[in-house]
Chains A and B, each alone.
Chain A
Amino acid sequence: MSAVFEVINLKKAFGGLVVTNDVSLSMVAGDRVALIGPNGAGKTTFVNLVTGALKPSSGEVRLRNEPVTRIGPTGRVQRGLVRSFQVTRLFQDMTPAEHVGLAVLQRTGKSAELHGNFLTRPAVMEEVYDLLERLGLYSLAHRKVREIAYGQQRLLELAIALALKPSVLLLDEPAAGVPQSDTGRIEEALANLPADLAVVMIEHDMDLVFRFAKRVVVLAAGTIIFDGLPADVTKDARVREAYLGSYANAGLNA
């Protein structure tokens, strides 16, 4: 199978601090990769680099064999590379229906139309309700985001990403900040992601990682120190060393 998403020798330094050091990654459709690593390892920076929010010092990013390194962030989204945010970025005064509706309109090239509220467009609304329903947000469709729980906001982040029909999805700690009681819903949503979607999930919760990922990539100090099966990651000496003394050690041993 040919790669849908390729990162080749990506490098980034902030001043003297090398945050991404020669990172390469290749994914095919349907891949489920967990990207883990201690805090400050450069995981979020990696997402920012491949989505175009930051410019790499060197290296290349390819989507379905097309180099996109010189294409801006919006162009990459339009080509199917979509991300979610570690800290929810939603519009407090808008409703879930409006968020997802905006994403659907944008994907179908209609977000700049000057007439007709999307809420009155049957084709858009059908898709919006369908997505919200799949993520258990249907009953909240017309509530303001500020009135809904954080766990539900995280699910809405997922709904927005899915509304863009990505081929590669980068999830930056999708369960971060969600109370334990609500992580089940998120995990269920993750398990139900479209089968042919290539997913990179950044996550600290090792239980979630083991249940979700078919492949684990470990980043430490900007370098990939492990890329392999979940079963092997805890046995790896370099991984253990990288996590030694950090809080995640407990999770790894669990």
Chain B
Amino acid sequence: MTEKTNSTLAAGAATTRSRLRAGFIKRDLYGFAAIVIVAAAGYVLFPDNLALLTRIIAIALLVLSLDLVTGYCGVATLGQAALFGSGAYAAGILSAHYGINDPLLMTLGGIFAGAVAGLICGIVMLRAHGLPQLVLSIALVYLFHEFANKASSWTGGSDGLSGIVLDPLFGLYEFDLFGHTAYFFGVVLLLIVFTLLRIVVRSPFGMLCRGIKEDPVRIRALGASPHKAVIKMYIISGAVAGTGGALSAISTQVVALDALSFTQSAEALVMLVLGGTGSLFGALVGTVIFMLFEDFVSAANPFHWLTMVGALLIVVVLFAPKGIFGTVQDLLSVRKNTTGETRP
């Protein structure tokens, strides 16, 4: 039955291996470069609007975190902002109540709180599937919201959490009024998170999660527990969302209840679908397009921007179900294949 000898097998394996590794690194570098270029372009084109750009980065982290559980694991959720808001409040409370004003420590606090919130939400969410799961996610974000509202001595309730003070970043860079430092900080955070997530999504664990999304029964038949894996992904997702929350608290120096809202969760899902689920680039593209669209269209026509967003979403869902990024990628790969290049 053996047509090939073991040595040719091994040689084939080695070449495939190095080709694949080179491919991964190339794509990572492209992604990294794309973020840097877009970030630099934003800085040059909108120097007066760095606050918006920083907010886009914070929300992009939220949408990335949503992609991890929805796009990669198939968990339906409309409550992802619970993780984002937990990170924002943790970072804000560290400064406002404990005088821990170091932006790095505040970010770590946000990451930790997001991860804990992720663990809690993951455990609750996995009690159900499908529609009941979706309803649970909505219930969770309302509970988090209500909790933050009631604990007003900690969170400022509906007035929002203020009194956040920031030490200079690395003791060197003041958080200036124009938001230069915050923007730079956000871009670096995004690059770090993006690189780590690239590693995670193509790791054995990432592949396991893709399998769980498609067929948990199959995964169980391999002897792996889908439950454990998804909880683990929820914790990672929480850490990512918490990073975004912390960035939001640091850059605006306030935390509003909106950070924990159902609306924010739903918008994040819209952005993800717009860009394309199950791809990190999709999450980024969706966020940037949605938020820029929101900013420009709502400035041009404050009454009808939601109509426009609705129309855009309908067009994407009906005609480009893989999202904007997924569709463009498909078109490009079709062209590539017809020009004779093959993918591994």
Contact = CB atoms under 8 A, between A and B. Distances in A.
A77 B221 contact: yes
B16 A119 contact: yes
A130 B17 CA distance: 15
A94 B211 contact: yes
Given A106-B222, A133-B2, A126 B205 contact: no
- 9 closest A-B pairs by beta carbon, nearest first, are A77-B223, A89-B218, A105-B204, A125-B13, A78-B223, A106-B222, A117-B202, A91-B214, A119-B20
A122 B13 contact: yes
Contacts of A130: 6, 9
Nearest to A130: B9
Contact of A82 (B1, B202, B215, B221): B221
A74 B9 contact: no
Interface stretch (B44-52, B69-77, B224-232): B224-232
Interface in A125-150: 125-126, 129-130, 133-134, 136, 138, 141-142
A114 B207 contact: no
Interface residues on A, range: 35 or more
B217 interface: yes
B21 A120 contact: yes
Interface of B: prevailing SS:
helix
Given A78-B223, A102-B204, A120-B20, A134 B214 contact: no
Interface of A: 51, 53, 73-74, 77-78, 82-83, 85, 89-94, 98, 101-103, 105-107, 110-120, 122, 125-126, 129-130, 133-134, 136, 138, 141-142, 160, 164, 188, 192
Contacts, number: 121
A105 B228 CA distance: 16
B130 interface: no
Nearest to B14: A122
A73 B13 contact: no
Interface in B148-204: 199-200, 202-204
Interface residues of B, number: 39
B344 A74 contact: no
A102 B221 contact: no
A77 B203 CA distance: 22
B210 A160 contact: no
A116 B203 contact: yes
A111 B224 contact: yes
A126 B217 contact: no
A114 B211 contact: no
Given A112-B229, A115-B199, A142-B344, A74 B223 contact: yes
Nearest to B344: A142
A83 B16 contact: no
Contact of B12 (A73, A74, A85, A129): A129
A133 B4 contact: yes
A138 B6 CA distance: 12
A164 B232 contact: no
Contacts of A136: 1
A38 B72 CA distance: 41
B205 A83 contact: no
B296 interface: no
B23 to A, nearest CB: 10
Contacts of A101: 207
Given A89-B215, A111-B205, A113-B205, 17 more contacts: A74-B223, A91-B210, A91-B215, A98-B207, A102-B211, A112-B204, A113-B204, A116-B204, A118-B207, A122-B17, A126-B10, A129-B12, A133-B4, A141-B16, A142-B16, A142-B344, A164-B222
Contacts of A118: 204, 207
Contacts of A126: 9-10, 13
Interface in B18-34: 20-21, 24
